[in-house]
Amino acid sequence: MNKARLFAAAATIALHAALFMALVAGLESGPQPDTPEPLKIQLIAPEPAPSAPPQPPAPPQLQPKKPAARAERRARPAPAARKSAPETRPAPAAPAPDIDARPPPATAQPAPAVTPSPAPALAPARTSASEASYASTNRKPPYPRISLSNGEEGTVVLRVLVTAEGTAGAVQVRTSSGFPLLDESARKTVMTWRFNPASVDGKPVAEWYEVPIPFKLQDN
């Protein structure tokens, strides 16, 4: 009975010892309290000032010539070999004009005689055949029977060459009536007519003359 109590007590003590050791080990390995870091001081070096760009070298200045050299040059005498300028002589004066030597007075030229222009020739008096009527004794062209039965009518314009004797030298149809029978009847009839010819200065001349010939049904 005592052995069991002793064994239980030893086990209890060992358990407590293990718990104590575990607690101590946990405290040592646990997080340490935050400690402030030491303050660090860093020195900053000042920045160097920007250097100015290099200036181009100044052009060399010309040394002025000494005035003594110029004066010395001016003081030197001219070389003897130089020729002197030729002397200019004044031109001789022109002789005075002779008063007696005058040009003879101009003689007046006679005006040219004006010849009168010839009077214009008078135009010859002309009488045209178109202004002279043909003779009143000329017969009227007959109306063709076929044209009457067919009711044909119209006006024929003939171109007649009136000779100096007053006859029809040639007869041409200038404007047709539209019907050949009427045109041919007028042409044949006018060939037998007499005319008053045209004249120049009272002399008869040949000339063309237009003669209208009408054909109307109501006149027949």
Number of Cβ within 10 Å of residue 211's Cβ equals 20
Type of residue found at 181: L
Question: How confident is the model over 80-107, as pLDDT tens digits?
Answer: 545 555 556 666 666 655 555 565 666 6
List the chain domain ranges.
141-219
CATH class for the domain made up of 141-219: alpha beta
CA proximity to 180, closest of 144, 219, 211: 144
pLDDT at 13: 87
> Where does the pLDDT of residue 56 fall: very low under 50, low under 70, confident under 90, or very high at 90 and above?
low
Question: How confident is the model over 186-209, as pLDDT tens digits?
Answer: 999 999 999 989 998 889 999 998
Give the CA distances from residue 50 to residues 44, 47, 53, 56, in Å, rounded to whole numbers and listed in that order: 18, 9, 9, 18
More confident residue, 160 or 54: 160
Quote the CA–CA distance of 193 and 98 in Å, as a whole number.
Answer: 99
Backbone angles phi, psi at 166, to 5 degrees: 90, 15
Type of residue found at 79: P
pLDDT at 190: 95
pTM above 0.75, yes or no: no
